């Protein structure tokens, strides 16, 4: 019988219980966006990005929307994929709105545990100096 060491490749946000996102703006629009984000699964298939506390903040104002996510350092393909899915959900929910996607920079790569060596996917992982803002 062999023993395997399992390493979670997409660590859950480290809270005892996920915190509800901080939201500002029109309540009906907030609910629509959060419902769309709720349909985005974690890369490991364990719940959604909203359920697991990756959605930190959603700020809506006329003509603009900013979503803040927790995505590790934000340099791995998993972080980029979740960011793209979240951006697309916002684009479909809020047409004709300027959208901004930010991430809270975590010290570890979102695709590996804090003490694991970088994989090929994460070879360039390092915390972003600018806080990781991105917009389209």
Question: pLDDT tens digit string along 70-115?
Answer: 887 667 788 889 999 999 999 999 999 999 999 876 544 444 433 3
Q: What residues does 135 pair with on adjacent strands?
A: 100
Residue 55 falls within a domain, yes or no?
yes
Domain annotation covers residue 74: yes
- The CATH number assigned to the domain holding 62 equals 3.30.300.130
Question: Could you tell me if residue 62 is inside a domain?
Answer: yes
| Between 27 and 77, residue with greater pLDDT | 27
Expressed as residue numbers, the domain containing 45 is 22-112+131-135
- Whole-Å CA distances, 120 to 74, 76, 111, 125: 15, 10, 11, 10
Q: Is the pLDDT of residue 125 over 50?
A: no
Contacts of 107 (CB under 8 A, 6+ apart): 73, 114, 127
Report long-range pairs for 54-57 (Cβ below 8 Å, ≥24 apart). Answer: 54/13, 54/82, 55/21, 55/86, 56/21, 56/22, 56/104, 57/21, 57/22, 57/23
């Amino acid at each position: 019988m062999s023993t395997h060491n399992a390493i979670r490749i997409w660590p859950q946000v480290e809270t005892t219980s996920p915190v509800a996102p901080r939201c500002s703006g029109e309540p009906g629009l907030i609910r629509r966006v959060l419902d769309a984000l709720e349909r985005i699964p974690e890369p490991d298939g364990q719940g959604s990005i909203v359920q697991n506390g990756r959605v930190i903040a959603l700020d809506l104002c006329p003509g603009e929307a900013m979503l803040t996510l927790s995505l590790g350092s934000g340099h791995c393909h998993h972080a980029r994929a979740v960011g793209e899915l979240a951006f697309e959900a916002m684009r479909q929910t809020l047409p004709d709105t300027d959208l901004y996607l930010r991430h809270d920079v975590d010290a570890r790569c979102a695709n590996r545990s804090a003490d694991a060596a970088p994989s090929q996917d994460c070879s360039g992982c390092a915390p972003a100096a600018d806080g990781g803002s991105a917009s389209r």
